[in-house]
């Protein structure tokens, strides 16, 4: 129980909530697109049903990845993939134009669950990495962030549009999580434990590098 009140636990929980909010902020668009053809009284059922289904699938997938990341070498691979996801977050505009609306409640719920499962792969890997093999962190992160995403997602999206630096914070947290996964890889951990300067230098290079290169690539794309 003492671990729950530790600084590492709280730091990881805050990271998970930020990751969930930044990467899952567009879930509301998926919900809106999937339910747009339904009558008002049915839309609430779709939002609740789709969200519950998405939470169950995402929690199961994240817990599976938490277990998989215990396999030697996968933390390193997961960290490298997450660096790319952190960079991609800055340069790519997410689109959900291919999410189809449904005229039926169950059809719309199914669309939301499937779309969330496909779009949530980056989220699952990021949360699993930040959780440090702790299933309680995964569940707590989802419990805290999902209601905020669903009922406050329009506000979150407006904040991101109005204050672009939020995306940079999210990308930085992802890059931090990725670097922690790499230095915590079992066959590298002893090396970095003996070389703390190299460990923190690598973390700093990854975080600063992702944000700097992402900002540069975004500006370059804007000029074209």
pLDDT tens sequence across 150-168: 665 556 556 766 877 878 8
Interatomic CA distance for residues 15 and 140, integer angstroms: 12
3-state class (DSSP) for residue 80: helix
Question: In terms of DSSP H, where are the helices of the chain?
Answer: 7-23, 27-35, 40-68, 74-91, 105-119, 121-131, 135-162, 165-183, 186-194, 196-223
What does pTM read for this prediction?
Answer: 0.71
Domain ranges of the chain: 2-223
Q: Could you give phi then psi for residue 148, rounded to 5 degrees?
A: -65, -45
pLDDT tens sequence across 17-55: 887 777 665 555 566 666 666 677 677 777 777 777 877
pLDDT tens sequence across 84-143: 888 887 886 555 445 555 667 777 777 777 766 666 667 788 888 888 778 888 888 777
Interatomic CA distance for residues 208 and 214, integer angstroms: 10
pLDDT tens sequence across 159-192: 766 877 878 887 888 899 889 889 988 888 889 8
DSSP one-letter code for 134: -
Interatomic CA distance for residues 56 and 59, integer angstroms: 5
């Amino acid at each position: 129980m003492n671990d729950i009140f530790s600084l590492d636990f709280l730091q990881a929980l805050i990271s998970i909530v930020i990751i969930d909010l930044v990467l899952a902020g567009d879930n509301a668009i998926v919900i809106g697109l999937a339910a747009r053809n339904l009558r008002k009284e049915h839309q609430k059922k779709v939002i609740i049903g789709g969200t519950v289904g998405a939470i169950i699938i995402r929690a199961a997938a994240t817990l599976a990845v938490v277990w998989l990341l215990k396999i030697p070498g996968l933390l390193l691979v997961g960290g490298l993939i997450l660096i790319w996801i952190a960079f991609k977050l800055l340069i790519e505009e997410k689109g959900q134009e291919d999410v189809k609306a449904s005229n039926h409640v169950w059809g719309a719920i199914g669309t939301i669950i499937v779309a969330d499962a496909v779009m949530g792969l980056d989220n699952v890997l990021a949360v699993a990495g930040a959780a440090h093999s702790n299933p309680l962190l995964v569940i707590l992160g989802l419990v805290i962030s999902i209601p905020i995403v669903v009922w406050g997602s329009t506000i979150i999206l407006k904040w991101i549009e109005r204050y672009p630096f939020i995306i940079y914070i999210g990308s930085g947290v992802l890059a931090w999580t990725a670097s922690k996964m790499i230095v915590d890889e079992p066959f590298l951990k002893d090396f970095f434990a003996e070389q703390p300067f190299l460990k923190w230098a690598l973390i700093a290079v990854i975080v600063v590098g992702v944000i700097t290169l992402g900002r540069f690539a975004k500006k370059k794309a804007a000029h074209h």
